[in-house]
Structure 1
């Protein structure tokens, strides 16, 4: 029986100490920054807690998904487009935020979610050599989409798109 570490579960099997340090530090600082924004916006305690947890996941996850260990894990042999699309689809954080932050409209939550999902479909339907530039083009243009996002959540759409489209969907490049 193999013993798995917390790093194996939250980052990827075999994550280096350096990768773990960067990922956890970014997650903690993201949670702290989002908490400060939520408290400043005078949101409810429930909203502040939910925002902190989601920021920990998204901020840390954006960095996690860019690590070599996560790239090896998520893009290992046998992984298909369906695995990657499923990973994007389970990121329902915009709807959870709409549930606890009354100033964040459900239509904006749906727009963020659909931008991520449609971006994933577009990227995964693109020839491999063009996926990275298509992902950057998609995120760049998606961030121009006008959303009714409260100040306490302005960080969420770009970080969600970075985590999913720019980090997770991009395999590790071969070393030259």
Structure 2
């Protein structure tokens, strides 16, 4: 998981450094967000994370709260020129709407619903939302981390 986080953070930093237009603070913030999202996408897919997020007593509201706490698009909109508030809001709203759809889906169809809303959210953002090229990873990785990694329980093997 740390390898994915480090490589993703490096990708995020490398992409913005090549542009050379951001302050050191902005480069660090992009790196931290990339580290969190790339690493979290891998970590949230582990059996240990699934057991934690879907343990007895952990309700849908806990998982939705985790998704809602991911305001990284807005943080990046503060420091990266070209990532507007409208784009950040669309990315964030799609993550939340997708999370509601996944948690509301009956268990038997939760997995295909999660994949459906993830690919649709990726499609909507890549076709309709303008983000700087160096942040093209933001929406797809955020959706994978939250909608596929975090919200899906571990499948029973049998």
Is this a same-fold pair by TM over 0.5?
yes
Superposition RMSD in Å: 0.7
Aligned to 2:14: 36
Aligned to 1:11: none
Give the distance between the partners of 1:140 and 1:128, measured in 2 at CA.
19
Aligned to 1:147: 129
Helix, strand or coil for the counterpart of 1:144?
Answer: helix
Give 1:144 shift. 1.6
Give 1:49 shift. 0.5
**TM-score normalised by L of structure 2:** 0.95
Which has the greater radius of gyration? 1
Aligned to 2:110: 131
Aligned to 2:44: 65
Helix, strand or coil for the counterpart of 1:63?
Answer: helix
Q: Which runs of 5+ in 1 are unaligned?
A: 1-22
Give the distance between the partners of 2:95 and 2:72, measured in 1 at CA.
11
Q: Which runs of 5+ in 2 are unaligned?
A: none
Give the distance between the partners of 2:77 and 2:103, measured in 1 at CA.
28
Q: Does 1:116 align with 2:95?
A: yes
Aligned to 2:31: 52
**TM-score normalised by L of structure 1:** 0.86
Count of residues in Structure 1 that have an aligned counterpart in Structure 2:
154
Q: Which deviates the most, 64-73 or 38-47?
A: 38-47
CA displacement 1:106-151 (0-9 Å, x = unmatched): 1000000000000001111111111110111111111121111101
